[in-house]
Amino acid sequence: MFPCRLFLVVLSMLAVLASPAEAMTPLEEISAQAPAALAILDGWQSQEPERAERAVHLVLWTPSDREPAPRYRERLSAIFEEARAFYAREMERNGFGPRTIRLVKEADGLCRIHLVRGAEPYASYAVESGSTIRSECLPVLRAAGLDPEKETIVIFCNLSNWDPEKRTMSQNSPYYASGTNRSGTAWQVDSPLLDLALLESREPMLQDRQYGRISPGRYNSIFIGGVIHELGHALGLPHHRERPDQKALWGTALMGSGNRTFGEDRRGEGGGTFLTLAEALRLASHPIFCGSVKGFELKANARLMDVKLEAHGKTFTFSGRVIADPPPYAIIGYTDPAGGSNYDATTATAVPDRDGKFMLECTALKPGSGAVLHVIVAQANGAMSSFASFDREPQYPYFVQSDGTVDLSASVAKERLAVLIGAVNAKRSKDAARELRTLEQAGSDPSLLEAARTLAGTLDARSGAAPAEAEGKTCALADAGTAEASVGYGRPVSNRLPGAEPLLVAGGRLFARGLYAHAPARHVWSLGGKWERLTGISALAEGHDGSVIMSIVADGGELWHSARLREGETAQFDLPVKGVKNLELIVSDAGDGRGSDWGLWLEPTLQR
């Protein structure tokens, strides 16, 4: 602990312990969290420091039958000086001082840009050619003394087509990026119009194949913004958007759609682009930004303990304790609604206190949507521990009702039913029954208890009567005897998933009953013409990134089918089945293969 920074730690502790009713403004978040994070980050890096001047390295790649676009060194140097200024300005606004990227310069003051000629002509390359182009750049980079696996590289591809007479533009270039604190690569497109000097130009207009009729300024907002955005990915930043309270102050988040709004404020066309506190926290420990390579080779190793989720009306909190070495200096949560990839995720941030305790306050949630909270722990060496998928650590699903209130039952169930799940997976009936009694005596939530009872019941489950023989006004198909049942992976099971994570969770919600239906799947029942309606929900199981189409067939004719369903998306059905003798529930792979196609029929129920 550094006594001179004790007040910073106090600020951090107050932020951790603040009541959800006393939510901080974006400016208050920065004032409290940035100094506290720096106290941890700089304190650790200053002890037995290992300094290094890491840089962003630039490449201009061109096909064998093309020359580079005119003035590429001058244009790209100016753009990267602008990128450098943007990151410095935004990091300083976020409380981290003017930390920014470092560029390698030539004697004339321009950026060093490695020129690479491709092995093939223009016609041999396309948007999907990123790995080929990168492989052609590697010998040149290695000859310059660089290890591409330990550097951040930006490759400008000379794959645009500009007709100055017709003023038409098209691109056929890779345009994406990925990276970590250790290394990264971004692919960009170069063109004669990619020019910082044109950022404020409104005339003359041009026709872009992708973006339509736009001004030179708008073109450069999109593509200079794209340079800075994709560089963000190469530095390890994921997509996410700004919260409304942030947008009101600063505009559009860089890693949301900020690539398209960069510089528009200079033309009076919008609020421009900014870095969120979440982005700044992640960049603060990147070797290029902080100049430290201490612990560079150490992998992320953070562990979350004593995790607790609590709903507070239209917001919720995620709290716990983090253990890590090198020390954790920030916790970043991404609240990611179903659909929209992760572009529509918003962020919550916190700095752990000296005991590792923290609390994220998750706000700006999308009503009427399932969602997942992804949690990242930032460590002082730049490593980022991700708590975001079933393959690594638990993710945290939730559902936001149409009125904005939060349903955390799915995530709460993962925690509170852990002992029961262990007993069920081990097929220990007595232990499962004992834990079920404990849950009942504790007065657990009714929906949680229903899921617990149903899961415990799968240990000695027996198929019920076929719907044609069933009595009563309702019949749960998950419990009814089938005429046929087949699935594309494993064997058919009811009221649980196969494997270690048996709970039926989809679209951020917990369901007690349902049918596992990995594509291709087919379940058939005899109804005997005795039922009136069929209700239920179709979905893809949480934590699986496949896609499915689900259909319902009555006496050989399709009665209903869903749209293509991906993780987090659900489709509800309420259908007449009067007089139907045979009912089929079918799951197909949506045409893209059946990997991870864990379809679910949730609460499918016949009524009369």
pLDDT band at residue 502 under the 50/70/90 scheme: very high
pLDDT beyond 90 at 3? no
- What are the pLDDT digits (tens) for 199-225? 999 999 999 999 999 999 999 999 999
260-303, pLDDT tens digit by residue? 999 999 999 999 999 999 999 999 999 999 999 999 999 999 99
Average confidence score pLDDT of the chain:
93
| Residue 367, C-beta contacts closer than 8 angstroms, at least 6 positions apart | 400, 401, 402, 403, 404
- What type of residue sits at position 261? T
Asked whether 81 and 89 are in contact (CB, 8 A), the reply is no
Predicted confidence (pLDDT) per residue in 438-451, tens digit: 999 998 889 999 99
Q: Any idea of the CA torsion for 376, 378, 383, 385, to the nearest 10 degrees? A: -30
Rounded distance, CA 603 to CA 515, Å? Answer: 8
Give pLDDT tens digits for 522-543: 999 999 999 999 999 999 998 8
8-state DSSP, 111: B
Using an 8 Å Cβ cutoff, are 589 and 519 in contact?
A: yes
User: In this predicted model, what pLDDT tens digit does every residue of 112-162 receive, in sequence order?
Assistant: 999 999 999 999 999 999 999 999 999 999 999 999 999 999 999 999 999
Asked if the model's pLDDT at residue 313 lies above 90, the reply is yes
**How many residues are there in the chain?**
608
- Whether the Cβ atoms of residue 44 and residue 285 lie closer than 8 Å to each other: no
Average pLDDT of span 225-248: 97
The b/e string for 373-395 (b: 16+ C-beta within 10 A; e otherwise) is: bbbbbbbbbbbbbebbeeeeebb
Contact 380, 40 (CB under 8 A): yes
pLDDT at 39 over 70: yes
Band (pLDDT 50/70/90 cuts) for residue 19 is very low
Above 80 in pLDDT, residue 13? no
Beta-bridge mates of residue 560: 552
Q: With 60 as the cut, is the pLDDT of residue 17 above it?
A: no
Please state the pTM of the whole predicted model: 0.88
H/E segment holding residue 563: none
Cα 159 from Cα 128, distance rounded (Å): 12
Q: Check whether 341 has a pLDDT greater than 80.
A: no
With CA atoms as reference, report the closest residue to 550 among 520, 525, 575. Answer: 520
pLDDT higher than threshold 90 for residue 602: yes
User: Could you give the percent of the chain with pLDDT greater than 90?
Assistant: 89
**For range 21-31, the mean pLDDT:** 87
DSSP summary character for residue 252: E
Q: Tell me the per-residue pLDDT of 542-551, one tens digit each, with 9 for 90 and over.
A: 888 899 999 9
- Phi, psi angles (nearest 5°) of residue 68: -60, 150
Q: Closest Cα partner for 38 from 297, 289, 273?
A: 289
Both tokens of residue 328?
A: 């954790």
CB-neighbour burial class of residue 177 (10 A; exposed 0-12, middle 13-18, buried 19+): buried
Compute how many other C-beta atoms are within 10 angstroms of the C-beta atom of residue 106.
11
Task: Dig out the tokens for 317 from the structure.
Answer: 């909190």
Please compute the mean of the pLDDT values over residues 557-579 and round it to a whole number: 95
Query: Which tens digit of pLDDT belongs to each residue from 480-499?
Result: 999 999 999 999 999 999 98
| Domains (range + CATH), the chain | 3-49+295-407 (2.60.40.10), 56-287 (3.40.390), 416-459 (no CATH), 463-607 (2.60.120.1060)
- pLDDT of 394 above 70: no
Residue position matching structure tokens 């009811």: 494
**Burial state string for 286-315 with b = 16 or more CB within 10 A and e = fewer than 16:** bbbbbbbbbbbeeebebebeebebebbeeb
pLDDT at 607 over 60: yes
12 pLDDT higher than 80: no
Helical pair 6-17 and 26-46, crossing angle rounded to 10 deg: 130
Q: Could you tell me which residues come within 8 angstroms of residue 154 by beta carbon, excluding any fewer than 6 positions away? A: 56, 57, 58, 59, 185, 186, 188, 227, 230, 231, 234
Rg (Cα) of the chain, in Å, rounded? 28
- What pLDDT was estimated at residue 22? 65
